[in-house]
Structure 1
């Protein structure tokens, strides 16, 4: 009928064009099958060098474009979008495409998508490769959110041999659908906490032969979520497996200081470390790593970061009433993490703040420092009003994420002491479970 097909692979398009020119094929109604596995249409694809570059993790809700601009100003070399669902990207969902927008200041930028089926990721990869301004495409195969796993994506691919086999088909299909941007994947150690069921080391050893350019490994399982410390001994085991095939491996989990970064990189096995919650709580950790120092940042300097975010937000979302309130809401979401920072000038000598231990309540060195440490949403709103003015009538804010990185026992002890803040997972207003912040 000579109707243009908009969801067509390159191989099918070639067959269609050949048929118009009078060339026949032995294929079905869409023509010949896809290129056989021994061909590689990606010989001209660009290569991305992650070695020694500071990589800010894909962060649900808070890892928006204005936040990434703040991180770039503090030393980030590699940034990546919030996770977009591949099925929604293919549908042309405007909200999903908005997650993938890049700012010119982002020097090395990746787009992250999530999906668990080869045909879906092949079409999505081809679409992003053709239409999106990005340097690489990352497929999240470690996202622990229940809704994602129920669709056969994310961490569900790590559950059993069938899932790993499907993961292989996804990587092969997606990588072969892209000629320009390389494909990377992000994993967790496994689905269950049982060490005998950890499969990441096997996947890392084979990922390059499937078509993956690099692998990011979060040193936790799906069952673990963000509880307990990341298992860097296992990450090192996987790094040894990656080295055998010259696959760049990026470690992820609990990088909260320059000392953490240097310790994990000391073996020379990792390409770099991905920084997630560390960048949310104290984005200047990027500067600390770059300059190899501890920054006792002042309250005024911390406030300047919110001012910078506000300006970037109004530029990105608009300066009308809707844009101002959108900027305000995302600024408050970010503050739901930044208040967890304890100024190093208040810590005892030789003591450093760690990710999974709840800090005690303290009084800052100034009223502003104390205000920035508050876990009360009204205090966060007070800070936001300094830059965005009074709130619109009826404005209401409930943090979308609460930390589940603290143990239940620690949370109970904090409640007994009368210390505010939440531990343990909480459901969103609509009742659907949401992950803390990092997409796996």
Structure 2
């Protein structure tokens, strides 16, 4: 598989998720078979004004290729500059444009999925970015703004004509946020309407979901987001299903605990102990999700302030498996 001239050795992509897909989590997912990873979204305006925190979000891991840097904004010139800066800072192989984020603080500024309400502006943004960088450019968007304005097919065709090398379609409208069911039929309609690669996104929580969304929509790639939270093994297990027709067993409880600890260690190397432990509160609980009898342990995760406390908690969790 290829995105323009960039080879992608697999059909599963880790979706960009703000506050989640940092370098540590992306490394864990790549080790489990994610063929392409994407940074957290970064503001083109922040890059323009030289925000000191933004470059950290764009830092790729050692050997993290192919990888994409995702930018958001709605001013063509600023987005073009942001794309150039993001590529310079990260060394990424692909620039991805966010035209799908539903968060109020994003859409209220005319960014993210708000661009689906103004196709001409979205086209201007895409053409400006396309002209500014010498690498593949991809676009992530949604089914539409709401049920009265489902325009993903028209939007996809615009993206193709404006020079996008791949489009990723989330099968929900902006109004749905992350509720309800993703509309895979809409993604299939998009796939039939364009000639560039399509990544299908929405409701991929199991290996079977990954295989089904690819088969049902005809998409070239499956993009996995929330299904990978605390479950990076989804990539390895889905890849196995696609390649062999059988699904490996789920990871053991010990493997869940050990991987959670390792991810926080990787995050600490990047962000320091304080920030890594604050973020560990959500990540560790995601790793423990679905395991019965851990209510008190999950409460304790929210009080962690040092790695020593995390190690002690992990040791107690491991003892439960003995």
TM-score under structure 2 length normalisation: 0.87
Contact 1:50 1:271 in 2 (8 A): no
215, 221, 235: which one aligns with 1:272: 221
Larger fraction in strand: 2
252, 265, 281: which one aligns with 1:332: 281
Structure 1 residue ranges without an equivalent (≥5) = 1-44, 318-322, 343-362, 364-369, 392-440
Tell me the equivalent position of 1:314. 268
19, 24, 27: which one aligns with 1:69: 27
Whole-angstrom CA distance in 2 between matches of 1:206 and 1:85 = 23
What is the correspondence of 1:6-405 to structure 2 with a 5 Å cutoff? 47-50=5-8, 52-159=10-117, 163-179=118-134, 181-194=135-148, 197-242=149-194, 246-267=195-216, 269-292=218-241, 293-317=247-271, 323-341=272-290, 363=292, 370-371=293-294, 374=295, 377-381=298-302, 388-390=307-309
Whole-angstrom CA distance in 1 between matches of 2:191 and 2:8 = 14
Instruction: Note closer, same or farther for the CA distance 1:132–1:106 as it changes in structure 2 (3 Å cut).
Output: closer
Instruction: Note closer, same or farther for the CA distance 1:269–1:375 as it changes in structure 2 (3 Å cut).
Output: farther
Report the alpha carbon displacement of residue 316 of structure 1 after superposing the two structures with TM: 1.9
Tell me the equivalent position of 1:39. none
Larger Rg: 1
Report the alpha carbon displacement of residue 69 of structure 1 after superposing the two structures with TM: 1.1
Report the alpha carbon displacement of residue 314 of structure 1 after superposing the two structures with TM: 2.7
Whole-angstrom CA distance in 1 between matches of 2:4 and 2:51 = 28
Whole-angstrom CA distance in 2 between matches of 1:145 and 1:332 = 22
Q: For structure 1, which segment, 275-284 or 329-338, has the greater mean C-alpha deviation from structure 2 after superposition? A: 329-338
Structure 2 residue ranges without an equivalent (≥5) = 242-246, 311-322
Whole-angstrom CA distance in 2 between matches of 1:82 and 1:47 = 23
Report the alpha carbon displacement of residue 103 of structure 1 after superposing the two structures with TM: 0.4
Report the alpha carbon displacement of residue 315 of structure 1 after superposing the two structures with TM: 2.2
Contact 1:213 1:248 in 2 (8 A): yes
How big is each residue's C-alpha offset from its partner over 1:83-119, in whole Å with a ceiling of 9 and x where there is no partner? 1111001111121111110001422111001001211
Contact 2:191 2:217 in 1 (8 A): no
TM-score under structure 1 length normalisation: 0.65
Q: SS of the residue aligned with 2:95?
A: strand
Whole-angstrom CA distance in 2 between matches of 1:155 and 1:337 = 27
Report the alpha carbon displacement of residue 271 of structure 1 after superposing the two structures with TM: 1.2
Q: SS of the residue aligned with 2:16?
A: coil
Whole-angstrom CA distance in 2 between matches of 1:78 and 1:219 = 20
Structure 1 segments of 4 or more deviating over 6 A? none
Whole-angstrom CA distance in 1 between matches of 2:154 and 2:270 = 42
Q: SS of the residue aligned with 2:267?
A: helix
Q: CA RMSD in A?
A: 2.2
Contact 1:52 1:271 in 2 (8 A): no
Contact 2:44 2:73 in 1 (8 A): yes
